[in-house]
């Protein structure tokens, strides 16, 4: 059974640009959550999607958005990138919404220069 796949693994962008990250959950999992991880702030919840609907949202500005497709694959987008957006972005899949047992991908390391 394939795990959670995130692409790309590494990304370098310039301030002001936008970026789209992709996540393919474990087959059969319908919930996808996104997290931002930085050394100073730890693991911060961005949002959760279940059956193409956003179920929960963390305290991030509107520049951070996401969506989920009918096959449960999810994308997150960050517009007008700032230096502080440099982080490891992690995607986690679960069978059900609010299922706290999550299976994480390897993450996308985003560097904003």
Partner 1 sequence: TQLLEQSPQFLSIQEGENLTVYCNSSSVFSSLQWYRQEPGEGPVLLVTVVTGGEVKKLKRLTFQFGDARKDSSLHITAAQPGDTGLYLCAGAQTNAGKSTFGDGTTLTVKP
Q: Which of 109, 104, 93 has the alpha carbon at shortest distance from 38?
A: 109
What is the closest distance, in whole angstroms, from the C-beta atom of residue 25 to partner 1 in the complex?
13
**What three-state secondary structure class fits 84?**
helix
What is the chain's alpha carbon radius of gyration, rounded to the nearest angstrom?
A: 13
Which of 24/33 has CB closer to partner 1? Answer: 33
Which of 35/64 has CB closer to partner 1? Answer: 35
Q: Which residues bind partner 1 (CB under 8 A)?
A: 4, 33, 35, 42-43, 45, 48, 55-56, 58, 90, 92, 97-98, 100-107, 109
Which of 20/58 has CB closer to partner 1? Answer: 58
Which of 58/79 has CB closer to partner 1? Answer: 58
What is the closest distance, in whole angstroms, from the C-beta atom of residue 93 to partner 1 in the complex?
11
Dist. CA 14–CA 20, nearest whole Å: 14
- DSSP per residue over 23-79, as a string? EEPPTT--EEEEEEEETTTEEEEEEEEETTEEEEE-S--TTEEEEE-TTS-EEEEE-
What is the closest distance, in whole angstroms, from the C-beta atom of residue 4 to partner 1 in the complex?
7
What is the closest distance, in whole angstroms, from the C-beta atom of residue 80 to partner 1 in the complex?
26
């Amino acid at each position: 059974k394939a795990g959670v796949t995130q692409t790309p693994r590494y990304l370098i962008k310039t301030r002001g640009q936008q970026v789209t990250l992709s996540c393919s959950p474990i087959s059969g999992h319908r919930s996808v959550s996104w997290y931002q991880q930085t050394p100073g702030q730890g693991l911060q919840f961005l949002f959760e999607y279940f059956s193409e609907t956003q179920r929960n949202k963390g305290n991030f500005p509107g520049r951070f958005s996401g969506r989920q497709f009918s096959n449960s694959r999810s994308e997150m987008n960050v517009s007008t990138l700032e230096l502080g957006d440099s982080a490891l972005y992690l995607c986690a899949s679960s069978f059900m919404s609010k299922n706290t047992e999550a299976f994480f991908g390897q993450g996308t390391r985003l560097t904003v220069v």
